[in-house]
């Protein structure tokens, strides 16, 4: 399983209905599963992004499907990054020429 970090901002529609955001987060968990991914964590954040999501999947395509499907609902816009755990990070650095 690979880990992905999604940086999320509410759209005008999403912030206008912010009180239903927890229900939308629950629905996003089901959406992720239907796309072949798993939404592991949702964090409300202060600063540039409104939410940070941690997603796991066995293939990049599953997260791409989830991101596109989630954003197409119109409540959020996201930026998705593949994340490498520390052990993998260290292996990558060790393998540099």
b (16+ CB within 10 A) / e for 66-83: bbeebbeeebbebebeee
Cα distance between residue 69 and residue 90, in whole Å? 33
What pLDDT shows up at residue 94? 98
- CATH architecture observed for domain 2-94: 2-Layer Sandwich (3.30)
* Domain ranges, ordered by start, for the chain: 2-94
Residue pLDDT, tens place only, 32-89: 999 999 999 999 999 999 999 999 999 999 999 999 999 999 999 999 999 999 999 9
């Amino acid at each position: 399983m690979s880990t992905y970090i999604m940086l999320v901002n509410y759209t005008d529609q999403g912030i206008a209905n912010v009180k239903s955001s927890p229900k939308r987060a629950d629905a996003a968990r089901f959406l992720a599963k239907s796309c072949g991914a798993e939404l592991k964590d949702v964090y409300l954040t202060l600063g540039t992004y409104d939410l940070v999501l941690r997603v796991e999947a066995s293939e990049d395509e599953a997260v791409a499907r989830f991101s596109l499907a989630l954003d197409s609902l119109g409540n959020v816009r996201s930026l998705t990054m593949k994340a490498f755990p520390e052990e993998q990070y260290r292996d990558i650095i060790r393998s540099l020429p």
